[in-house]
Amino acid sequence: MIALVIIAIFILLEFSNVLSLYFNPGSTRGNAVGVFSAWEKTKQDPEIHNFVKYLVYWVAGTKLIFISLLVVIFAFADPFTQSITFIAMIISTATFYWRMFPLIRTMDTDSQLTQSGYSRTLGGMIAFIIILFVLGYLFASGLLMLPVI
């Protein structure tokens, strides 16, 4: 049950991000791209801006596919498949630190973000999500249980 709550929270967070990317990509909330100062600069060149918007919508669409698959897995899959799904989510989410975190940290250092320190905030949020996935795995696999009162 705890594992399902963790997934539901993640799905809600990701879905709110999808809505932001589709309907308000210039926002500085969530993971919208308004936090990058380059977003406003792309508006000076319609060709570049359309290309960047296309990539933003591509990310939103990919997140929507991912969310849909999670809903199906956690609604219909057996407990073993659900627990293995947490492992896949831990590994795939941790890849953020391989390429994206060094890049956003550099952009933060070079004042290319509208919010100074955003790279640390985002890095902390991703770490928190990974911790939640680890807890979800432990609960889903039965390695961790809440005491019965």
CA distance from start to end of the chain: 16
The pLDDT of residue 48: 97
Give CA separation, 112 vs 2, 74, 96, in Å. Answer: 39, 39, 19
Position 149 in a domain = no
Residue 36 has φ and ψ, to the nearest 5°, of -90, 125
CA 58 to chain centroid, in Å, comes to 14
Measured CA distances, 52 to 42, 47, 60, 83, 96 (Å):
8, 9, 12, 36, 20
Q: By the 8 A CB rule, do 25 and 56 touch?
A: yes
The answer as to whether 148 is a domain residue is no
The model's pLDDT over 58-108, given as tens digits with 9 standing for 90+, comes to: 999 999 999 999 999 999 999 899 999 999 999 999 999 999 999 999 999
| Residue 43 covered by a domain | yes
* Burial degree of 84 (CB within 10 A; 0-12, 13-18, 19+): middle
DSSP state for residue 98 in the 8-state scheme: T
pLDDT at 41 over 80: yes
pLDDT at 121: 94
Phi-psi region of 45 (alpha: psi -120 to 50; beta: other; left: phi over 0): beta
Q: Is 37 exposed, middle or buried (0-12, 13-18, 19+ CB in 10 A)?
A: middle
The number of domains in the chain is: 1
| pLDDT band at residue 144 using 50, 70 and 90 as cut-offs | confident
In a domain, 146, yes or no: no
CA 40 to chain CA centroid, Å, is: 23
Is residue 145 a part of any domain in this protein?
A: no
**Whole domain around residue 69: which residue ranges?**
2-140
Q: Is pTM, for the whole model, over 0.95? A: no
| Res 80: pLDDT | 92
